Structure 1
Amino acid sequence: MSEIEAVADVWQLSPTLSLVRVGDEWLMDDPARGGQRMLNTFPEWLGRALTGLASTGTVTPEFAADLLRGAGVPAEHLDFCLRSLVEGGVLVDPGFCPPERDAGSLRDRQWAMISPPADYRDSGTRDADMKLMYSYAAEAEPPASSTPAPAAWARILLPRRGPDAEAGFLGELGRLLYLTHGVQSEMDFGPLPRSRRTTPSFGASHPFDISVSTSRLSGKRTTYYYQASEHSLVALPTLVCDPDTGDAPEPSAGGDFDLSIHLAIERAHWRYRTSQVYPTVLLDLGHLTETLHQVCESMGVGLTVTAGRMEPALSKDDQALGPRLRKYRVQLRTRG
């Protein structure tokens, strides 16, 4: 057991591991490791060993070996079996404390690793995708390139974006939002209305919306949706605001505000109607968050993450925007 002892002094059964029976087959499912593994066989000793590990808590290498021996593993195979359980992530360090196994963040990672994005460098893939989209468009109206807002909702047009743009809070805010998520031009991708923005997006889906919460513009804390195609702020009525955002304390500094990234899943899911939507959304989220960080750094703006994906995800039934995936406190350099 010397080789095993060099790996760890104590283990526990992975808290996110489960066995799933699908018909006559067994899957070992662990979202913390990003996927499932099909078990070609399910010997009796494995069931007894997992039951023992699940009921024991933490185990030393010697105790784990004894447990496997008692479950029926031959003595000459103990070392190999134990090493396989460690390398396969069945046995993990006791300090491993991931979220609950069905937390959205773990399931996102799992689906992203199972379903890689399509490779559009292949002409056959592009042609098949375009044909599929036209068949979708014949059945249902494609979503707009930006989340629409009722015309009656109040809007604040943001200042123009040139080098001599207006100074002050609105000018700096408008510049930050445009450089992060602004529309350069409208376009069509087959039957889909899409937009070219400052941030790259897989398939130009741009499956996110940005909201800001501040009292600087109306005198009371208000949440605004950045309507990128108009380069404007749309005031969201209180009854459709994210309750967590609406109840958050007002930033103490006069130019500070909260910025949130919301998932507009329909812009991606209309096109990707399988688990392939997961890696697409996560890839684009990385594009958007990295762009936001770089824009803030170039503008000398402070940026602090205050929340990640919320659990459970908010329903969109009574909201203008989708669930929030990131929330930031932004400290503008201007107080004008």
Structure 2
Amino acid sequence: MTAPRDLLFVADRRFVLSDDGPLVADTARPRDFASLAGVVKPVAAPAADARAGPRPALDPDVARLLSALRRGSYLDYASDAAMAVDESIMRTYLAADPPPAAETPWSGPLAWLPHPAHGTGERSGAGGTRAPGIGRLLLSGFGHLRTVSFLGLFDVVLKPVPSKGARHPFDAYVTVEPGAVRAGLAPGTYRYVPSLHALEHLAAEPVEAGIGAGDEAGRAAGRETGVGLVVVAVFDRVHWRYRESAGYRDLYLDLGHLTATLDAVAEDASLRLTPVEPAAVGAPVVASLEREIVAAYRLEDRT
């Protein structure tokens, strides 16, 4: 067997790649990684802090391992061998548990949103209802484009924004206060249903003071506030496939793609997304998900 020459990351496991194919590296000793990808330079120990005393020396094997990990790459799905490795891992996961649903199940009454494909062309600043802009914003960030099969094992959903492993770990909630007459929606709390491009009405009670606390000033300036957009993380969608702490990093990389898309679409639709603290949302249904909230906005007219 030839020496290993690279390190691969697949789901939650690491593999050493050699001429004989991917080899499981779980039991490899740290010094076994020293031959990866050419000469691996040890990581220098950080300088000692005089106030905290000298730092312990970094073990040479650990230093080489850390350097090798930095040189690692993700699995190349253009390779048949790589696909076989990932398929084997996914079969193991499927044998234990099915993947979580790609969409949160809905059961409440639905409020249908206008689809941008209908070509309404209406902007929220034109004095009409905001519904077309809200629908376009939700479709661009969370919409269901199509369902495809992953390795013939299970289905994944493709959306307008990229997501590692097509996990798309976010749900969108919309809150509407009683004074938001141009929202085109009855007051209450809604969850976006991507496959239907509709909002599930979760609570009919008025949203408590929070996002709309400064509405009077907004209306006096000719803007209408009182509409909130809340992004909630569904961690199980990521952790079923990526079973390590790096899954949190990937979730927030996905969030960066999502928030940049929302900002761009909102600007084009003459809307402004103003970030607020999750506690400012005020809706009882959304407040119960406080630990899962990763972004919260007040939706206003752009002037």
Is the shorter-chain TM-score for this pair beyond 0.5, marking a shared fold?
yes
Partner of 1:149: 106
Residues 298/284 of structure 1: CA separation in 2 closer, same or farther (3 Å cut): same
Amino acid at match of 2:95: A
Are the aligned partners of 1:154 and 1:234 in contact in 2 as well (CA < 8 Å)? yes
2:236 maps to 1:274: no
Aligned AA (1:194): V
Deviations 1:10-41 (A, max 9, x none): xxxxxxxxxxxxxxxxxxxxxxxxxxxx999x
Gaps of 5+ in 2: 1-42, 56-68, 123-128, 178-182, 216-222, 280-284
Q: Deviations over 1:148-185 (max 9, x none)?
A: 123xx111111222152384222221111112221111
Cα RMSD after superposing both structures: 3.9
**C-alpha contact (below 8 Å) 2:174/2:230 kept by paired residues:** yes
Q: Normalised by the size of structure 2, how large is the TM-score?
A: 0.61
Distance (whole Å) between structure 2 residues aligned to residue 202 and residue 175 of structure 1: 23
CA contact (8 A) 1:115 1:275 kept: no
Other-structure match for 2:189: 223
Aligned pairs, number: 220
Alpha carbons of structure 1 residues 305 and 249: separation in structure 2 relative to 1, 3 Å: closer
2:144 is the alignment partner of 1:183: yes
| 1:209 Cα deviation from its structure 2 partner | 0.8
Give the partner amino acid of 1:172.
Answer: G
Task: Please list, as runs of the form range in 1=range in 2, the aligned pairs for 1:1-336 lying within 5 A after superposition.
Answer: 53=51, 119-121=74-76, 123=79, 124-150=81-107, 153-162=108-117, 164-165=119-120, 167=122, 168-190=129-151, 191-215=153-177, 216=183, 219-220=186-187, 222-237=188-203, 248-250=210-212, 252=215, 253-254=223-224, 256-307=226-277, 323-332=292-301
Distance in 2, Cα, partners of 1:258 & 1:131: 43
SS of 1:162's equivalent in the other structure is: helix
**Structure 1-normalised TM-score?**
0.55
Equivalent pair of 2:190/2:203 in contact (CA under 8 Å): no
Q: Relative to 1, partners in 2 of residues 1:166 and 1:300: Cα closer, same or farther, differing over 3 Å? A: closer
* CA shift in 2, pair 1:332/1:185, >3 Å: farther
Identity in percent: 28
Amino acid at match of 2:162: P
Cα pair 1:184 1:195 within 8 Å, conserved:
yes
CA distance in 2, matches of 1:267, 1:116: 28
1:94 aligns to what? none
Cα contact 1:115–1:276 (8 A) shared by 2: no
- Structure 1 match to 2:35: none
Query: Secondary structure of 1:188's match?
Result: strand
Instruction: List, as ranges, runs of 4+ consecutive aligned residues in structure 1 with deviation greater than 6 Å.
Output: 114-118
Go from structure 1 to structure 2 and tell me whether the alpha carbon gap of 1:249 and 1:292 turns closer, same or farther (over 3 Å shift): closer
- Kept in 1, the 8 Å contact 2:102–2:157? The answer is yes
Residues 305 and 329, structure 1, Cα contact 8 Å, conserved in 2: yes
8 Å contact 2:228–2:296 — kept in the other structure? Answer: yes
